[in-house]
Amino acid sequence: MHLPPALDEFLEMMSAERGAANHTITAYQRDLLDYLAFLNAKAIPLKQVLEADIEAYTTMLHTQKLAASSIARKITSIRQFHRFLNNEGMTAHNPAALMEFPKQARNLPKILTEADVSKLLTTAAEDTTPQGIRLTAMLEVLYATGLRVSELVSLPLAAVLRAPDFISVMGKRQKERLVMLTPPAKEALAAYIPLRPLFFGSKAQKTSPWLFPSRSAEGYTTRQQFALLLKELTLKAGLDAAAVSPHVLRHAFATHLLNHGADLRSIQQLLGHSDIATTQIYTHVQQERLFETVAQHHPLSPRKKQGVKQEK
């Protein structure tokens, strides 16, 4: 495909100097060809583009009812492109410098109630086979600590044996943190650890460094294996399998702590969030639950009044 010289140079810079991946280059190319086609249709040279012209383009994008994330990606492409043109002296100014991204709706995480989690744990504990005891241990540790599933499955045995009440976890960007084990988690681990050799990679294998070893290529239970076991358990417990995942249990850990009075800073440290803004999503979850409670149970709420009328 023959590209305009300025676009060709921009894409070459993104690839050679910034090491952008092929799919990123392709996305930039697609977005900017669409933008340049808009400018060409209005006979606007790149050197004469004004903020109003870019606003007209983004307005057109909104009329196409594109998702906010798609528009935000296109704006990123345009901003990078005009910055490049300005830095290279191809244009006298950067008309995209003050472009604003569309506000994107923030999806609240799915949350399990405390009763739902209790049902999962009770159902898991009813299975007294080695597989059931292992799954119970994994669930108890996950709910007690709020670990990421990748952190859970790759826990070394030494992390548990080092101290009876805490686990040392190596999280994202090699940041280490301590998380506390609850009494049920410690009991579940005590029941499981003697059975670990049953899950070694082969009968000849005498040891494994992992807390939850398996015959996978990694040497430990994979995220996919654990997710499948959790789905099967969810169905067995009579819960909605589509609403339950390892990450949902992590959300449940944080939300239930917040509901019982834990402060955000402590939850941030336990979850291993580098920015407390990430943790603040749980305050929004809590507010949503409070609003829902008021809407359902306040005597003057429209929903409550409707329910009273239906009863009559």
Kindly list the catalytic residues: 148, 172, 247, 250, 273, 282
Burial 268-307, CB ≥16 within 10 A → b, else e: bebbbbeeeeebebbeebeeeeeeeeeeeeeeeeeeeeee
The pair of structure tokens assigned to 107 is 């999806």
Output the CA–CA distances (angstroms, integers) from residue 129 to 27, 132, 133, 136, 285, in the order listed. 50, 5, 6, 11, 37
Encoded amino acid at 204, one letter: A
Residue with tokens 């990679």: 201
Q: What are phi and psi of 166, to 5 degrees?
A: -130, 155
Q: Where is 163: in which H helix or E strand?
A: none
Which residue, among 2, 5, 23, 1, has the nearest Cα to 88 in the 3D structure?
5
HEC readout, 261-306: CCCHHHHHHHHCCCCHHHHCHHHHHHHHHHHHHHHHHCCCCHHHHH
**DSSP secondary structure letter of residue 220:** B
CA angle, 226 then 262 then 149, to 5°: 15
Q: Where is 212: in which H helix or E strand?
A: none
Q: What are phi and psi of 90, to 5 degrees?
A: -80, -20
Neighbours of 124 (CB within 10 A): 23
